[in-house]
Amino acid sequence: MEVDPARLGRWVEGFAERHGQPAVTTEDYGLLLTGPDGATAELHAPPGAADDLAAPPGAADALPADGDLPGFLAAAVAPRRIGLLLARKSAVAVGVAAGEDLVVSKVDSRYVQGRTAAGGWSQHRFARRRDNQAKAALGEAVELAVRLLLPQAGTLDAVVTGGDRRTVDGILADRRLAPLAALRADRLLDVPEPRHAVLVAAVTAARAVRVLVRDPAPAD
């Protein structure tokens, strides 16, 4: 499930009410809560929060072995600048979110012909046309990212992508976008064809804390 950072503290309280006061341990992805009844909850840090959670090398006040739940909650809710790149074959949306607000946005689409049931020479002709249209759309998506997102790279805490992974990978493969690719979060948002409303909704999804709950093993 995905939990809004502002609601995460209450969610943790609910977990404790259902399963008992949990032990908290630090993991690579964030925190692991383990209830006395054996139930667990993985709290995955939202994109861009890792630097806030990591202690400087050799620091005396590094996170204790039992985890730092208050620190995690504070880091999760802290406002960040996140770049957004949502793409499918015929449409792309780019934006920059400052906290909960979308402060930069642009959506672009280009016609890419669908598959045809025609056979023979016509099928090959349509396939070539579709490939050329797809390449042109990808090129325009790259230029949009170069124009709007790349100048923001130095101010971003993370870049969150969504849509079709192959298309997104193709955009970020452009060498000019290496600074953005280096900030890319593991998270890939599941979004429909990018539109402005989809881009706005993606801000919430990009900031969410992903939680994986496992119920206790049944007693023998």
The ranges assigned to domains in the chain are: 2-78+208-214, 81-206
d(CA 165, CA 148): 20
Edge-first strand listing for the sheet containing 2-3: 2-3, 209-214, 40-44, 30-34, 23-27
CATH superfamily of the domain spanning 81-206: eRF1 domain 2 (3.30.420.60)
pTM equals 0.82
d(CA 22, CA 41): 9
For the chain, 220 residues long, give each residue's pLDDT as a single digit of tens: 999 999 999 999 999 999 999 999 999 999 999 999 999 999 999 999 876 665 444 433 433 445 799 999 999 999 999 999 999 877 899 999 999 999 999 998 764 444 544 544 455 555 555 565 556 668 889 999 999 999 999 999 999 999 999 999 999 999 999 999 999 999 999 999 999 999 999 999 999 999 999 998 776 6
